[in-house]
């Protein structure tokens, strides 16, 4: 059993890690605690949230505080609060995640107090706008080189990180998972009734970020072309907001707003086809779309952009892929699935599965390395 300090930002993917108990940076530390570790999750909020502290179970506690009005002084306060936690709790291992800043600060603390560090990357953080601030990219690269181990969410990201010849420690793959609710397969008929989908309608949809730069415009344009040929088609979009995206005034297009995450399995079970749109960008090439595993777990036929990890995962199903700038290829892929409804025979890991994998990585690399903090 190790004492683990898990450092992350509080909000990501438009969810509150604490109140929503959502995603990678809640589920992994939660299930690590169920593997016998004592985990303290520290969440840094870039919003104006009140500080909080709670105990989830005997081995899992959560603390959170805000950046404040001044970002620089807020990061300095964050550093000193983390320092106090390290001196008090004396962790055996630090895991830092979620953005460049958390990993940079954790790296400095890990070196100062001789605590092993895992840097967990669920995206290519250098594609984030914050990485363009003066000095951030350099400090982030240095932090990765000084970490004892790096975990990444995708094979493509693993290759990118390993391409830095100055990184001499292991780069390990820990992909995303799903909650058990996605494996329960909600009743399809009841799900369609809930959303008002009729039996004769073929409903295409996606749930997640609706940023225009994620390829949603291409989906809308392709759908409108297809809807002119097939009046039974409907398009359903769900996400935090439309981020300035202008939806056509069409009765065939329905925007459901930002659904609670626990409702997503119900929505996916009601659809006939899921679409995963990814742009060929510094972000898209290295991400692991969470909705891929969610759709597969719900037995939903899908099509996806031929970018990054999707190209690898669907290598045996080229007919389900489309170039991210090709409306014609997207229409072709949708038509193909309308006829064949291929459900991918992919084994979808749960978050518990991924925590078990991370636990094994920890045991292999840090199980016997306990250091005294002075």
Q: Please enumerate in sequence order all residues whose Cβ is within 8 A of that of 135, keeping only pairs 6 or more positions apart, or say none.
A: none
Q: Cα separation of 309 and 295, whole Å?
A: 15
- Those residues with Cβ within 8 angstroms of residue 333's Cβ, 6 or more apart along the chain or in another chain: 303, 319, 320, 321, 322
pLDDT in tens, 123-170: 999 999 888 999 999 999 999 999 999 999 999 999 999 999 899 888
CA–centroid distance for 212 within its chain: 19
Residue 36, domain member (yes or no): yes
Q: Average of pLDDT values for 199-205?
A: 96
**DSSP H or E stretch at residue 254:** strand 253-255
More confident residue, 184 or 306: 306
CA dist 152 and 66 (Å) reads: 26
Within-domain flag for 372 = no
Is the confidence at residue 116, as pLDDT, over 70? yes
Q: What pLDDT is recorded for position 51?
A: 86
Same domain, 123 and 206: no
- H or E stretch covering 238: strand 233-238
Residues 264 and 276 in one domain: yes
Residue 373, pLDDT score: 45
Are 278 and 317 in a shared domain? Answer: yes
pLDDT in tens, 318-363: 999 999 999 999 999 999 999 999 999 999 999 999 999 999 999 9
Please check whether residues 220 and 115 belong to one and the same domain.
no
* Position 194 pLDDT exceeds 90: yes
CATH assignment of the domain containing 304: 3.40.50.2000
* For helices 327-340 and 216-229, angle between their N-to-C axes, nearest 10 degrees: 60
Q: Are residues 162 and 218 in the same domain?
A: no
For residue 209, what pLDDT is reported?
78
Better-predicted residue by pLDDT, 373 or 130: 130
pLDDT tens, position by position, 89-105:
999 999 999 999 999 99
Nearest to 47 by CA among 68, 19, 62: 68
3-state DSSP assignment of residue 11: strand
pLDDT band at 300 (very low <50, low <70, confident <90, very high): very high
374 inside domain: no
- % pLDDT > 70, the chain: 96
Report the distance separating Cα 167 and Cα 39, nearest Å.
27
Exposure string for 221-257, b = 16+ CB within 10 A, e = fewer: ebbbebbeeeeebbbbbbbeeeeebeeeeeebbbeee
Position 130 scores a pLDDT of: 87
The fraction of the chain above a pLDDT of 90, given in percent, is 75
Range of the domain at 312: 180-340
80 and 200 in a common domain: no
Say yes or no to pLDDT of 369 above 70.
no
Which tokens in the block code for residue 191? 């799900």
Asked if residues 27 and 351 have their Cβ atoms less than 8 Å apart, the reply is yes
- Same domain assignment for residues 34 and 171: yes
Residues 171/152, Cβ–Cβ less than 8 Å: yes
Domain-embedded: residue 141:
yes
* Other CB atoms within 10 A of residue 361 CB: 17
- Strand, coil or helix: what is 292? helix
130 assigned to some structural domain: yes
Structure tokens at 269: 């079970």
Q: 150 or 186: which carries more pLDDT confidence?
A: 150
For 91, counting Cβ atoms within 10 Å of its Cβ (0-12 exposed, 13-18 middle, 19+ buried), the class is buried
Q: How many domains does the chain have?
A: 2
Any domain includes 346 = no
Residues 288 and 299 occupy one common structural domain: yes
Mean pLDDT of the chain: 92
Same domain, 328 and 219: yes
User: Residue 206: its pLDDT value, please?
Assistant: 93
Residue 345 lies in a domain: no
Is there a single domain that holds both residue 168 and residue 273?
Answer: no
Report the distance separating Cα 200 and Cα 194, nearest Å: 16
Beta bridge partners of 66: 45
187 & 168 share domain:
no
- Write the DSSP assignment of 319-365 as a string of letters: GGEE-TT-HHHHHHHHHHHHHH------PPPBHHHHHHHHHHHHHHH
**135 in the same domain as 189:** no
Please report, for residues 97, 103, 345, the alpha-carbon distance to residue 119 in angstroms, rounded to integers and kept in the order given.
6, 6, 32
Mean pLDDT of 213-227: 90
Q: Quote the pTM value.
A: 0.92
Tens digit of each residue's pLDDT (9 = 90 or more) over 239-292 = 876 566 778 888 999 999 888 888 999 999 999 999 999 999 999 999 999 999
CB-based contact 275:310 (threshold 8 Å): no
pLDDT at 244: 64
Residue 231 has pLDDT above 80, yes or no: yes
Find the Cα–Cα–Cα–Cα dihedral 3, 119, 31, 313, rounded to 10°.
-160
- Secondary structure class of 16 (helix, strand, coil): strand
In a domain, residue 373? The reply is no
């Amino acid at each position: 059993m190790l004492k683990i300090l898990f450092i992350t930002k509080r909000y990501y993917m438009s969810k509150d890690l604490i109140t929503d108990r959502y995603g990678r940076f809640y589920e992994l530390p939660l299930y690590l605690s169920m593997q016998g570790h004592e985990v303290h999750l520290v969440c840094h909020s870039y919003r104006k949230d009140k500080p909080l502290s709670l105990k989830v179970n005997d081995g899992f506690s959560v603390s959170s505080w805000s950046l404040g009005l001044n970002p620089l002084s807020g990061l300095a306060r964050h550093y000193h609060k983390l320092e106090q936690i390290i001196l008090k709790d004396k962790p055996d291992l630090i895991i830092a995640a979620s953005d460049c800043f958390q990993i940079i600060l954790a790296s400095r603390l890990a070196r100062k107090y001789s605590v092993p560090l895992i840097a967990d990357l669920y995206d290519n953080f250098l594609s984030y706008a914050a990485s363009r601030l003066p000095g951030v990219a350099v400090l982030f690269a240095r932090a990765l080189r000084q970490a004892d181990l790096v975990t990444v969410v995708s094979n493509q990201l693993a290759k990118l990180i390993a391409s830095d010849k100055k990184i001499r420690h292991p780069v390990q793959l820990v992909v995303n998972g799903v909650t058990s609710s996605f494996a329960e397969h909600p009743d399809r008929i009841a799900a369609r009734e809930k959303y008002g989908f009729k039996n004769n309608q073929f409903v295409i949809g996606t749930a997640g970020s609706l940023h225009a730069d994620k390829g949603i415009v291409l989906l809308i344009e392709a759908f409108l072309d297809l809807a002119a040929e097939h009046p039974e088609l409907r398009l359903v979009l769900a996400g935090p907001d439309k981020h300035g995206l202008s939806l056509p005034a069409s009765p065939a297009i329905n925007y459901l707003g930002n659904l609670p995450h626990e409702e997503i399995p119900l929505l996916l079970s009601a659809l006939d086809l899921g679409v995963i749109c990814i742009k060929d960008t510094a972000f898209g090439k290295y991400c692991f779309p969470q909705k891929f595993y969610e759709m597969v777990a719900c037995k939903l036929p899908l099509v996806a952009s031929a970018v990054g990890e999707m190209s690898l995962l669907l290598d045996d199903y080229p007919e389900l892929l489309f170039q991210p700038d090709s409306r014609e290829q997207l229409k072709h892929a949708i038509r193909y699935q309308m006829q064949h409804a291929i459900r991918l025979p992919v084994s979808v890991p749960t978050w518990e599965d991924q925590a078990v994998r991370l636990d094994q990585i920890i045991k292999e690399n840090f199980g016997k390395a306990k250091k005294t903090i002075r």
